[in-house]
Structure 1
Amino acid sequence: MLDRAVAVRPVRARARAGRRLVALAYVAPAALVYVAFAIWPAVHTVGLSFVHWDGILPATWAGLENYVDVFRDPTLGPALWHAIILILFFAVIPCALGLLMTGLLHGGLRGMTAFRVIFFLPQVLPLVAVGITWRWLYNEDGLVNEGLRWIGLGGITRAWLGDYDFALVALGLVGTWAMSGLCMVLFLAGAQKIDTSLYEAVAIDGGGPVRRFFTVTLPALRGEITIASVITTIAALASFDLVFVTTNGGPVNRTTVPGLLVYRLAFNEGDIGRASALAVVLTLVVIVFVTAIRALTREKA
């Protein structure tokens, strides 16, 4: 019996090795694509941040000079502040609206299926198309101002994206419209896995819809809230296409964000080194915010 067990072990080991090779064969194509289009560009960007390069002539070593220049740039602070403000519109408000819609839809409210489809529609539209559409809506003779005039609020109409005080808010509301549907779908997917017996227990205890939401639904969506917060926060901090299409940072840099500064440094000024350094700094800022969100939403043992 002992000899038989000893003979079987190499066979089992070879079988396990074969299964590992098969698994690696399935994973390898996706892993190669990820390394080629995500890992390597990131590593290459870090390398470029330590050189002076205009994209054409040979690069020269710069050390930390690009990072020093980035932090001395007076436009960096306001741009980061604008991106942080956009977190309110891209992450906080959409998550709150997504939870509200989840409470209504998951509660079985009638006639909400069509609205759910319409609410998610911005997620299937390119942000460039969204930006162009909203730029037209925000014009002085656009639908937003026409609607305000129709309800008797013509005195507050303005070119919203060109207004010094309201441009960033108007831009942020576009992000709210675009991100709320994503949050809603994530929360609805999470709500589907909640055991219905928990709702029945709260109902037996005399709890209404609001109490069921706060005692059962909301705690069960901790993971989905974390995912939605991370995705939308990254979208706010790394925003570029929506800003570029709608305001291009104007008026007077009131909507400038770090992603737009990276574009200007690389393609307008031809300073690839500083653009790469700013991109690395922006990545670190995103990592800090994501880490903070995960720490705040982590379930306590």
Structure 2
Amino acid sequence: MRARQAVGDLAARYRRPPGAPRAVAYLYILPALAVYALFLLFPLGQTVWLSLLHWDGLSAASWAGLENYRDLLTDPALRAPFGHALVLLLFYAGLPVVLGLLLAAVLTRFRVRGMTFFRTVFFLPQVLAMVVVGVTWRSILAPDGLLNDLLRAVGADSLTRSWLGDPTWALPSVGVVGTWVMTGLCVVLFLAGVQRIPRELYEAARVDGAGAVREFRTVTLPGLRGETAVALTLTIVAGLRNFDLIYITTSGGPGNATSVPAYEVYRRAFEINSAGSAAAMGVGLTVLIFTLTVVVARLVEGRKS
């Protein structure tokens, strides 16, 4: 009787649905969770703790409480980098996604030959190290660089300027570099997404008399919602985490016209020895990135439903 009951219990255990939680599953994810906690959660906790202190990185720290966060909200010098980062999102996320959608639609509708070549060319900036990109564009945008030489060659001498040294044009100039880097990623994502849209939808739209614009609006754009969410998430994170390009091209200048949170964290921690303020800014940047990515995901899920 007991044997029969044991067999029945064993059979019932294995009749559980595949997704049912089992204690042994946590043993499989425990090593990954331990690595995640050691290299991400623990440093994050340390950063939050440092943000509550006044510390120069060398001498004894003193308690600051929420003073560093209050300064982050009230001090214009600390708020400005976040404003610059939000402006750069237009160049890092907005323009690349729009251009990527348009280029993917054109390349798909007109069946351009050599699609692999075009994908490689568009994706090439993603392969290059950002240091290489920064050095190259710093040379192009220099007062005696290629861009000003081209403007002089066509007789537009009045448009020449020190693009990275002008407080008005420095931030948009860095933003254009970001657009050049991120557009290729968006194009490749959208080209891959277009291939999974059923061709019958395009044929039905054309039979119905839809032109290129209507076909893009009613077929291509709705079919690329998932890819659009991925592209926005990746480009937003890249724009807000931007450090190396700023460091190589402008070092936050002229003045603080191109200072962004990631660069300001470095400057405050290692140049002016204000580790507590740098940690608070790092936490603020993390919260901003998390908030924007959640908003993008929620908007896409809401439209799908």
The normalised TM-score by structure 2 is 0.89
Task: Rate the CA distance shift 1:191–1:30 in 2: closer, same or farther, 3 A.
Answer: farther
Cα deviation for residue 150 of structure 1 reads 2.0
1:153 lines up with 2:156 in the alignment: yes
Query: What residue identity is the alignment partner of 2:206?
Result: A
Q: Which moved more, 1:146-155 or 1:290-299?
A: 290-299
- Give me the whole-angstrom Cα distance separating, in 1, the residues matched to 2:164 and 2:84: 14
Q: Which residue of 2 aligns with 1:36?
A: 38
Matches within 5 A, 1:1-301: 4=4, 7-10=7-10, 13=13, 27-107=29-109, 108-297=111-300, 298-301=302-305
Q: Which moved more, 1:160-169 or 1:43-52?
A: 43-52
- Per-residue CA deviations over 1:263-291 (Å, capped at 9, x if unaligned) read 11111122211111111112222233223
Q: Which moved more, 1:195-204 or 1:31-40?
A: 31-40
Task: Rate the CA distance shift 1:152–1:14 in 2: closer, same or farther, 3 A.
Answer: same
- Per-residue CA deviations over 1:113-172 (Å, capped at 9, x if unaligned) read 323211110111121221111101111121111122222222211121011211111110
- Give me the whole-angstrom Cα distance separating, in 2, the residues matched to 1:177 and 1:210: 25
Query: What residue identity is the alignment partner of 1:235?
Result: A
The normalised TM-score by structure 1 is 0.90
- Per-residue CA deviations over 1:79-114 (Å, capped at 9, x if unaligned) read 221111101100100001110111122221224432
RMSD of aligned residue pairs (Cα, Å)? 2.6
- Give me the whole-angstrom Cα distance separating, in 1, the residues matched to 2:144 and 2:131: 21
Cα deviation for residue 54 of structure 1 reads 2.4
Q: Identity of aligned pairs, percent?
A: 48
CA contact (8 A) 2:71 2:78 kept: no
- Per-residue CA deviations over 1:167-193 (Å, capped at 9, x if unaligned) read 111110000001001111111222121
Provide structure 1 residue ranges, at least 5 long, that are not aligned to the other structure: none
Cα deviation for residue 212 of structure 1 reads 2.2
- Per-residue CA deviations over 1:217-271 (Å, capped at 9, x if unaligned) read 1101111111111221122222211111100111121111121211111111222
- Give me the whole-angstrom Cα distance separating, in 2, the residues matched to 1:69 and 1:208: 54
Query: What residue identity is the alignment partner of 1:260?
Result: Y
Task: Rate the CA distance shift 1:120–1:6 in 2: closer, same or farther, 3 A.
Answer: same
Task: Rate the CA distance shift 1:156–1:29 in 2: closer, same or farther, 3 A.
Answer: same
- Per-residue CA deviations over 1:59-79 (Å, capped at 9, x if unaligned) read 332211222233333212222
Task: Rate the CA distance shift 1:32–1:185 in 2: closer, same or farther, 3 A.
Answer: farther
Task: Rate the CA distance shift 1:83–1:220 in 2: closer, same or farther, 3 A.
Answer: same
- Give me the whole-angstrom Cα distance separating, in 2, the residues matched to 1:174 and 1:278: 25
Q: Secondary structure at the match of 1:295?
A: helix
Provide structure 2 residue ranges, at least 5 long, that are not aligned to the other structure: none
